[in-house]
Amino acid sequence: MLRLCLLLLVLFTGFAIVTAQPLVKVSGVVTDRLGTSMSKATVSVLGQSQFTTTDKNGTYDIYTTSTTFTLKFTLLGYNPLLVDFKQEKAGRIKKDVVLISNINELEQVSITTKQNQLSNSMLLNVKEVAGMPSASGNFEVILKTLPGVSTNNELSSQYSVRGGNFDENLLYVNDVEISRPVLIRNGQQEGLSFINPELLSSAKFSAGGFESRYGDKLSSVLDVKYERPDSTQQVLNLGLLGASFSSKIVTSNSFLLAGLRYKNNTSVLNTQDNRGSYAPNFKDFQFVYSRFLSEKFSLSFLGSFNSGIFKLLPEGRETQFGTLNTRLRLATNYNGKELDEYTTVGAALTATWFSKSNLVIKWINSYFRIIEDERIDIEGNYIFDELNNGNFGVIRTNRGIGGYTNYARNSLVSQIFSTGIKADQTYDNHTFSLGTRFEHKNYVDNLNEYSLIDSAGYIIEGLKSFYQDNAISVKNRISIQNVTAYIQDSYAISSNTNLQMGLRTSFSSLSSQLLFSPRLLLAYRPSSNNKIWRFTAGVYQQAPDYRSIRAFDGILNIKQKAQRSYNASSGLDYALDGLGTRLKFTSELYIKYQDRLIPYMMDNVRIKYLANEVAKGYTYGADFSVGGEFVKDLLSYFRISFMKANQDIVGDNAGYLKRPTDQRINFSVYFQDRLLNSPTYKVHLNMLYGSRLPVGAPLVQRYSDDFSIPAYKRVDIGFSKDFLDDAVQRRARFLDKYFSSFAAHVEVFNLLNIDNTVSYLWLKDVNNVQYAIPNYLTGRQLNLKLIIKFKNSK
């Protein structure tokens, strides 16, 4: 009853949303000491989410609802600049600033600036993550609102980009490529993703057409940085789903970032159909220490420990589904338990040498050890009934009784070591980049699992024709070595036109292939400076890895060859004034032809490769987004994506079928506003829609797309108040003395309580009719959290 009252209160206050009016506009030009205009400098309002970047002329415009505030100007290679403003009333301010070069980072300035200007990627506003309502609490929630990204699982940090699967996405943290666990079956087993949002300084994301400097995957790149902060600071995050603490310590020639996170989402998991004793326990510790040993040389160390334990003692399940005319119910009682443990330990050491002007050389070394254990021993007895539509809960007829058994004793130990060198140098209108990397992977896999379905009192005839054999006992041990290299040139053809050409080459000991992948990007910015046209083309190849070569029966296909895709895209970024704000409109058309693919099936978040098959396919689509400050200092954006992804498995005579990620329409809204005509009360609304996904029935002997998972629809909403916001007229003395921010958040997950399906349980009744029993995701849930920032030491 209490939750219902709180929900009604939230809904009532939600209707009181009104638009706040801008107070102060600051404009100006950012230059260096020689008067050179500094493009791509970041201008942000301290303590608020508002930020912007300077254009090619160094000019900027930024708004704030406060009359007393501080602007922060940052650009790699220059000392951060803080400028305080105290205005008596609203109005316009003209403020030109000069950035002073940082001797230790000067050599990176022109290199980084040109790379940022010529890139088919978008800079993410990492400050928005704290306010986004999310059941997972992971950084990747922001990616699921971006053009080209598909999702259908709020518990998972995994995502699909333009028809690709989870394995086709690259993740870099401080130039270190990060690997993900292999055995995870469903989102509830996932805990904390690798990225700690509180340590982030910047993040870039590319949904395709990325540069040769990035690795050998087919779909996307997420490049995040843990870099030197502006000041010493500590942040404490407390909530019903967990807690975190981060500390940033800065000295004259070094800095330390450290973050500790804990997550327990039992209350969210209890909203699923499966009843039982959930005991998830996820924790994570990360740190970065960087120190300049001289003006020309620095060392940086990244350490990470991530542990996830998921324990479940299932009790029962009741799922109702069907049509308006036929209502069905599956009631199940369970015995047994599930215990899964996932541990990742990693370290990386980076040496950076500024050998001479505009030349930066990095030597990057990393080692990761991932240990995964699954112990499942669960038996279930079920009753399958058809209900009477006219009388709720009354059984019309019994469709069958039976049981099933799931058993697993699986363990996988993965070790990944890599070492590489990369260099960047600017010369006149060129920025040259090159690098080489060696990677050694070792896998030890003990696979022992089986599943039986006793439907209507007998074992289903033809069970062995499932793609996944019901009894597997395999031990695998394999090592894989990869050598990669790249070279690229970013060239300013004119003041309006830039060209980037690159070549990437790789060799895998598993496939014994020497691969060449040329890539090109052309960008044109008209003199009006409010548009950017981009064209990309390239070859993207993904060498086989352990997950893709392991078939359903656990046998490895060591003769598998690399997947290959030919990609092209054309895009437009357009800045315009409208709806009382500065809007940014982005669009991109793309097409991908894949002449060599490894087909797969999806079961929740588990990818099941048909390791011995080869397919060809194509993907094409269009992404659109528009965003702006419809309310000043609060960024909102809308996006819609259209896509079609098909594949033809060679030799199956079925022709082109839909790929498992063929989600034709994706739509998202992230909207922020003020509540009750007060600048300190904010609302954060996150809406996601993804059209249905194809899936095949398990009793066929080939890949099929004759069934589908219904469309994914979800609305999450959050409300926040910062008691130390600049707009607060009366502040509590105690809070103001010790804290710079004290924000309370109230969140409602799955506001409309929609039953979203993530996968199916397949059963037959006494008449040998097969049914797909939906496995639903989480229901409505209330969450509370506090985000406390302690007073900064400047």
Is residue 145's pLDDT more than 50? Answer: yes
Listed residue (674, 590, 572, 665) closest to 626, CA to CA: 572
Rounded CA-CA distance 9/209 in Å is: 46
Q: Is the predicted pLDDT of residue 105 greater than 60, yes or no?
A: no
Question: Which H or E run includes 742?
Answer: strand 739-749
The string of pLDDT tens digits covering residues 281-333 is 999 999 999 999 988 899 999 999 999 999 999 888 888 888 777 888 888 89
Residue 736 has pLDDT above 90, yes or no: no
Separation of CA 193 from chain center: 9
For 46-76, b/e burial (b = at least 16 CB within 10 A) is bbbbbbbebbeebebebbbbbbebbbbbbbb
Residue 169 tokens read as 């996405």
- Split at pLDDT 50, 70, 90, the class of 428 is confident
Q: Which residue has the tokens 């040769």?
A: 212
Most confident of 10-14, 184-188, 275-279: 275-279
Q: What is the pLDDT of residue 295?
A: 84
- Token couple for 144: 């699921």
Tokens of 469: 């054999």
Count CB neighbours of 196 within 10 A.
27
Distance CA 228, CA 77 (A): 11
User: What is the pairing mode between strands 712-722 and 606-609?
Assistant: unpaired
Ramachandran area for residue 163 (φ above 0: left; ψ -120 to 50: alpha; else beta): left
The single-letter DSSP state of residue 556 is B
CA distance 155 to 138: 9
In whole angstroms, give the CA distance from residue 45 to residue 50: 6
**What local confidence, expressed as pLDDT, does residue 268 receive?**
87
Higher-confidence residue of 550 and 633: namely: 550
Q: Report the C-alpha gap between 638 and 751 in whole angstroms.
A: 19
Tell me the C-alpha distance between 221 and 174, whole Å. 13
Whether 698 shows a pLDDT value over 90: the answer reads no
- Cα 116 to its chain centre, rounded Å, is 21
Under 8 Å between Cβ of 241 and 268: yes
Q: Is the pLDDT of residue 636 over 70?
A: yes
Tokens of 506: 């790789």
Q: Given this model, what pLDDT does residue 459 score?
A: 40
Kindly report which listed range (118-127, 355-364, 440-449, 653-662) carries the lowest average pLDDT score.
Answer: 118-127
Across the chain, mean pLDDT equals: 86
Residues ≥6 apart with Cβ < 8 Å to 709: 152, 692, 693, 694, 695, 757, 758, 759, 760
pLDDT digits (tens, 9 = 90+) for 642-674: 999 999 999 888 899 999 999 999 999 999 998
Whether pLDDT at 81 is above 60: yes
* Phi, psi values for residue 545, rounded to 5°: -130, 180
More confident of the two residues 390 and 8 = 390
Residue for token digits 């509180």? 198
Higher-scoring residue by pLDDT: 421, 113: 421
Judged by average pLDDT, the poorest of 82-91, 99-108, 705-714, 750-759 is 99-108
Q: What is the pTM of this model?
A: 0.84
Residue 369 pLDDT more than 70? yes
Share of the chain above pLDDT 70, in %: 90
Question: What pLDDT was estimated at residue 391?
Answer: 66
Average pLDDT over residues 518-543: 91
Partners of 343 in the β-ladder:
307, 371
pLDDT tens for residues 224-254? 999 988 888 999 999 999 999 999 999 989 9
Q: Supply 440's token pair.
A: 């050694």
Q: Which amino acid is at 761?
A: L
Is the pLDDT reported for residue 460 higher than 80?
no
Q: Label residue 577 exposed, middle or buried (CB < 10 Å: 0-12, 13-18, 19+).
A: exposed
pLDDT value at residue 6: 42
3-state secondary structure 118-135: CCCCEECCHHHHHHCCCC
pLDDT, residue 602, reads 85
What pLDDT was estimated at residue 152?
87
pLDDT more than 90, % of the chain? 51
| Count of CB atoms situated within 10 Å of the CB of 495 | 9
Q: Is the pLDDT of residue 22 over 50?
A: no
- Which of 577, 583, 715 is closest to 637 using CA atoms? 583
* Cα–Cα distance for residue pair 130/718, rounded to 1 Å: 11
Q: If 0-12 CB within 10 Å is exposed, 13-18 middle and 19+ buried, where does residue 750 land?
A: buried
Within 13 A of 42's CA, how many CA atoms are on the CB side? 21
pLDDT of residue 759: 87
- Tell the residue number behind the tokens 């060198």, with chain if given: 421
Which among 433, 540, 425, 541 has a CA at the least distance from the CA of 487? 433
For 36-77, the pLDDT digits (tens) are 888 878 898 876 767 888 887 889 988 887 778 889 888 866
State both tokens at 147: 């053009």
- Degrees, nearest 5: CA angle 258-260-263: 155
Predicted confidence band of residue 461 (pLDDT cuts 50, 70, 90): very low
Nearest by Cα to 145 from 131, 569, 537, 589? 131
Instruction: Estimate the share of the chain in helix, then strand, then coil, as percent rounded to the nearest 5.
Output: 10, 60, 30
| Beta carbons of 262 and 283 less than 8 angstroms apart | yes
pLDDT tens profile 551-572? 988 999 999 999 999 999 999 9
Query: What is residue 110's three-state secondary structure?
Result: helix
Confidence of residue 113 (pLDDT cuts 50, 70, 90): very low
User: Strand, coil or helix: what is 548?
Assistant: helix
